[in-house]
Homo-oligomer: A and B are copies of this chain.
């Protein structure tokens, strides 16, 4: 049984709490949250604390707070030489205060409130200063996920940039598709099977082989007709730039 104190109450924290509570090999000792109410639907109130001096002893302290608060929170912990990890994709391990043994426990997924996720399939990227600490967080990761990897801070940063492209930016393209539908009295539902199939395709095919459309065919008549159709500046600029990027990639072949 590995004991954990979780610090934070946002999306990542809440999804981790849910996953840890379902595991028989993990004891969730406490959750530290400045606003107790934000996690009170997940666990009993005696396990929720909001003062640093109330934090109990545990094998691991997981800091799941916003990136710019990690350094501050890790400095405020009132103990030394214990194992403290953060869950951020973009922050180096060294952002954590060095009075404790440091590590990273980064679940690579987009977490949304009130939307359950299947943790078993979520890659968990691990890093630790000390080999023995790595072993401990690896055991924890493997109790909630089947995809556990050792990833350096530099690789994690690359992965986070890639994730911004394939998740945040992709979702913004969905938003543009939705906006175009709304302006033309079309239901966004019409695009949903296409969106699912586009995501499904790259499980079997490389994105290179899955590419279709006017830019891939260098079909300038359709491209120009689409550019004439678009009126919003950002939409037009995005259409031009990604079309150029697809055509440029084709030239490299």
Asked if A183 is at the interface of the complex by the 8 Å CB criterion, the answer is yes
Query: Given that A90-B222, A197-B110, A212-B167 are known contacts, is A207 also in contact with B174, CB under 8 Å in the complex?
Result: yes
Chain B residues with Cβ below 8 Å from A226 are: 90, 160-161, 164
Q: In the assembly, what is the distance between CA of A194 and CA of B218, in Å?
A: 30
Copies of this chain present in the complex amount to: 2
Q: In the assembly, what is the distance between CA of A166 and CA of B199, in Å?
A: 10
For A192, the closest partner residue in chain B by CB is: B203
B90–A225 CB distance below 8 A: yes
Chain B residues with Cβ below 8 Å from A164 are: 213-215, 226, 239
Chain B residues with Cβ below 8 Å from A115 are: 201, 204-205
Query: Given that A162-B191, A229-B158 are known contacts, is A197 also in contact with B234, CB under 8 Å in the complex?
Result: no
Q: Interface residues of A toward B: which range? A: 35 or more
Q: In the assembly, what is the distance between CA of A151 and CA of B159, in Å?
A: 41
Asked if A173 is at the interface of the complex by the 8 Å CB criterion, the answer is yes
Residues in A173-221 with C-beta less than 8 Å from chain B: 173-178, 180-181, 183-186, 190-208, 210-216, 219, 221
Asked if A170 is at the interface of the complex by the 8 Å CB criterion, the answer is yes
A186–B151 CB distance below 8 A: yes
Asked if A237 is at the interface of the complex by the 8 Å CB criterion, the answer is yes
Q: Which residues of A contact B (CB under 8 A)?
A: 67-68, 90, 108-112, 115, 117, 121-123, 125, 147, 149, 151, 154-155, 157-178, 180-181, 183-186, 190-208, 210-216, 219, 221-222, 225-226, 229-230, 234-235, 237-239, 241-242, 244-246, 248-249
User: 5 nearest interchain CB pairs?
Assistant: A168-B213, A199-B199, A175-B207, A158-B184, A166-B177
